[in-house]
């Protein structure tokens, strides 16, 4: 049986740089990806996403993060890193809900591997992404493609 992988873009398109996860998934939808990969624009959904935990071997969450790095920096975070809220700021309640559900589920049963590809934010107000975050979308797409290739080659 082949591995199944979900790329989940989360964020609020009405909150500046918080839309980056959704924009990255939109860019990925223009590419030809392996059939084992699903792309979902999760927006601000949180607990509703719990159903995906049973359908995938790996979930790559794409979201805005605040880690103290330069705005537009793209980071890859393992599950234990984003569960340690002293190291990373979870920007919005949808993030907190999703990751809290993942942590609770991991205590009671096996869950898929979860990785976050995060883009460091600069601005969380207005309808437009900052230039630094917009310019990082290609790098985030590249990191996700690397993640897909690595995961499906196992």
Q: What is the CATH number of the domain that holds 97?
A: 3.40.50.1450
Q: Rounded mean pLDDT of 106-127? A: 86
Of 89, 82, 80, 76, the closest CA to residue 145 belongs to 76
Segments of the chain assigned E as strands? 5-10, 37-43, 58-65, 74-78, 113-120
Q: Indicate the pLDDT class of residue 82, thresholds 50, 70 and 90.
A: low
Stretch 92-102: mean pLDDT: 56
User: What is the mean pLDDT of the segment spanning 105-110?
Assistant: 80
How far is residue 141 CA from its own chain's centroid? 11
Domain boundaries, position 88: 5-152
Domain count, the chain: 1
> What confidence tens digit (pLDDT) does each residue in 17-64 have?
989 999 999 999 999 999 999 999 876 665 566 677 778 989 998 988
For position 129, what pLDDT does the model report?
92
**Could you tell me the pTM of the whole model?**
0.86
Mark out the alpha helices in 38-92 (DSSP H runs): 79-83
């Amino acid at each position: 049986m082949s591995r199944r992988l979900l790329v989940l873009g989360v964020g609020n398109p009405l909150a500046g740089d918080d839309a980056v996860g959704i924009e990255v998934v939109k860019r990925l939808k223009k590419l030809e990806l392996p059939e084992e990969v699903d792309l979902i624009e999760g927006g601000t959904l949180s607990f509703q996403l719990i159903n995906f935990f049973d359908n995938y071997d790996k979930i790559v969450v794409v979201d805005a993060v605040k880690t103290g790095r330069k705005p537009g920096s793209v980071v890859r975070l393992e599950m234990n890193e984003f569960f340690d809220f002293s190291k990373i700021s979870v920007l919005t309640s949808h993030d907190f809900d999703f990751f809290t559900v993942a942590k609770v589920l991991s205590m009671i049963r096996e869950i898929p591997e979860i990785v976050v590809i995060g883009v460091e934010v600069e601005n969380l107000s207005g309808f437009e992404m900052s230039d630094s975050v917009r310019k990082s979308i290609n790098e985030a797409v590249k990191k996700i493609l690397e993640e897909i290739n690595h995961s499906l080659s196992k």
